[in-house]
Structure 1
Amino acid sequence: MKLTRINILIMMSIIHCSSYAQKITKVNIIDKLNEKYKFTNDIKKYMVTYKFTAINPYQSHNYKHPEDKINGYGIYTIEIDRDEKEYFTHDRSQFPGNFVFEFKHFKNNKNAVSYDVNGVIRGKRLKQLKKDAFERQNKRAGEVLSFEKIADLLNGHKKGDDLKIKFDKNNALATITHTTNDNVINTYTFDIETLKLVTLKSTEDNSIVDYKNYIVKNGFEYAKVSVENFKKTMGISPSKFAIPYGYALPQSNQSISSEVNKIADNIYLINTNNNSRFILLKIIDNQIMVFGAPLSENVSEKIIDSIEKKFPMKTIKYVFVSHPHNDHIAGLVPYAKKGVAVIADDYTIEAIKNYPKFKETIKSFKFKTISNKERINGVRFYVLKNEHSLKQSFAYLEHEQIIYEGDFLEVPADNTIPTHISNVEKQFIEFVRSEKLNVKRIVQHHRNSNVTADVMNNYYNANAN
Structure 2
Amino acid sequence: MTITKTDANNPYIIFPVPDNVENGPRVPPPVKVDTEKLADGVWYLTGGTHHSVAVEFRNYVVLFECPQNEERAVAVLDTVKKTIPNKPIRYVVNTHHHFDHSGGLRSCVAEGATIITQSENKPYYEKVWALPHTLNPDRLARAPKKPIVEGVEEKRVLTDGQRTVELYHLQGSNHSATMLIGYLPKEKVLIEADVYTPGPANAPPVPASKEMINLNENIKRLRLDVQRITPLHGRLVTIDDLRKGL
Q: TM-score interval w.r.t. the shorter chain?
A: 0.7 to 0.9
Matched with 2:26 is none
Give the partner amino acid of 2:36.
Answer: N
Structure 1 residue 359, shift from structure 2 partner: 4.7
Matched with 1:11 is 3
CA distance in 2, matches of 1:257, 1:177: 40
Structure 1 residue 258, shift from structure 2 partner: 2.1
Matched with 1:288 is 61
Matched with 1:395 is 182
Query: Can you list the C-alpha shifts for 1:296-351, whole angstroms capped at 9, x where unaligned?
Result: 11001111111222233111101111110011000111111011011111122233
Residues 1:451 and 2:237 are matched in the alignment: yes
CA contact 2:114–2:147 (8 Å) conserved in 1: yes
CA distance in 1, matches of 2:228, 2:146: 35
Structure 1 residue 439, shift from structure 2 partner: 1.2
> The residue matched to 1:399 in structure 2 has which SS?
coil
Structure 1 residue 181, shift from structure 2 partner: 5.9
CA distance in 2, matches of 1:291, 1:381: 11
Structure 1 residue 436, shift from structure 2 partner: 2.5
> The residue matched to 2:97 in structure 1 has which SS?
coil
Size of the aligned set, in residue pairs, is 218
Residues 1:341 and 2:114 are matched in the alignment: yes
Distance verdict in 2 for CA 1:388–1:359, change over 3 Å: farther
Matched with 1:258 is 33
CA distance in 2, matches of 1:279, 1:458: 25
Give the partner amino acid of 1:328.
Answer: H
2:47 to 251, 272, 280: 272
Give the partner amino acid of 2:43.
Answer: Y
Distance verdict in 2 for CA 1:399–1:375, change over 3 Å: same
2:123 to 326, 343, 350: 350
Structure 1 residue 424, shift from structure 2 partner: 1.9
Distance verdict in 2 for CA 1:12–1:437, change over 3 Å: same
Distance verdict in 2 for CA 1:272–1:178, change over 3 Å: same
Query: Can you list the C-alpha shifts for 1:180-207, whole angstroms capped at 9, x where unaligned?
Result: 666xxxxxxxxxxxxxxxxxxxxxxxxx
Alignment of 1:230-249 (within 5 A): none
CA distance in 2, matches of 1:445, 1:357: 28
Give the partner amino acid of 1:293.
Answer: C
Residues 1:436 and 2:211 are matched in the alignment: no
CA contact 2:212–2:242 (8 Å) conserved in 1: no
Residues 1:371 and 2:145 are matched in the alignment: no
CA contact 2:109–2:145 (8 Å) conserved in 1: no
Matched with 2:203 is 416
CA distance in 1, matches of 2:243, 2:180: 20
CA contact 1:292–1:328 (8 Å) conserved in 2: yes
TM-score by length of 1: 0.43
Give the partner amino acid of 1:258.
Answer: V
> The residue matched to 2:51 in structure 1 has which SS?
strand
Structure 1 residue 265, shift from structure 2 partner: 1.2
Distance verdict in 2 for CA 1:282–1:13, change over 3 Å: same
Distance verdict in 2 for CA 1:337–1:356, change over 3 Å: closer
Distance verdict in 2 for CA 1:272–1:358, change over 3 Å: farther
> The residue matched to 1:412 in structure 2 has which SS?
coil
CA distance in 2, matches of 1:376, 1:417: 36
Structure 1 residue 368, shift from structure 2 partner: 1.9
CA distance in 2, matches of 1:346, 1:417: 37
1:405 to 189, 192, 210: 192
> The residue matched to 1:322 in structure 2 has which SS?
coil
CA contact 2:126–2:149 (8 Å) conserved in 1: no
CA distance in 1, matches of 2:108, 2:221: 35
CA contact 1:279–1:292 (8 Å) conserved in 2: yes
Give the partner amino acid of 1:333.
Answer: R
CA distance in 2, matches of 1:355, 1:272: 29
Structure 1 residue 356, shift from structure 2 partner: 7.7
Query: Can you list the C-alpha shifts for 1:7-30, whole angstroms capped at 9, x where unaligned?
Result: xx542139xxxxxxxxxxxxxx64
Q: Structure 1 residue runs of 4+, over 4 Å off?
A: 176-182, 354-359
Structure 1 residue 419, shift from structure 2 partner: 5.5
Structure 1, unmatched stretches of 5+, are 1-8, 15-28, 31-152, 154-175, 183-255, 461-465
| RMSD of Structure 2 on Structure 1 (CA) | 2.6
Question: Taking CA–CA contacts closer than 8 Å with sequence separation of 6 or more, which of the two structures ends up with the larger relative contact order?
Answer: 1
Matched with 1:126 is none
> The residue matched to 1:391 in structure 2 has which SS?
coil
Distance verdict in 2 for CA 1:318–1:420, change over 3 Å: same
Distance verdict in 2 for CA 1:392–1:358, change over 3 Å: farther
Alignment of 1:151-162 (within 5 A): 153=10
Distance verdict in 2 for CA 1:364–1:415, change over 3 Å: farther
> The residue matched to 1:424 in structure 2 has which SS?
helix
Query: Can you list the C-alpha shifts for 1:111-148, whole angstroms capped at 9, x where unaligned?
Result: xxxxxxxxxxxxxxxxxxxxxxxxxxxxxxxxxxxxxx
Give the partner amino acid of 2:3.
Answer: M
CA distance in 2, matches of 1:458, 1:180: 48
Structure 1 residue 355, shift from structure 2 partner: 4.3
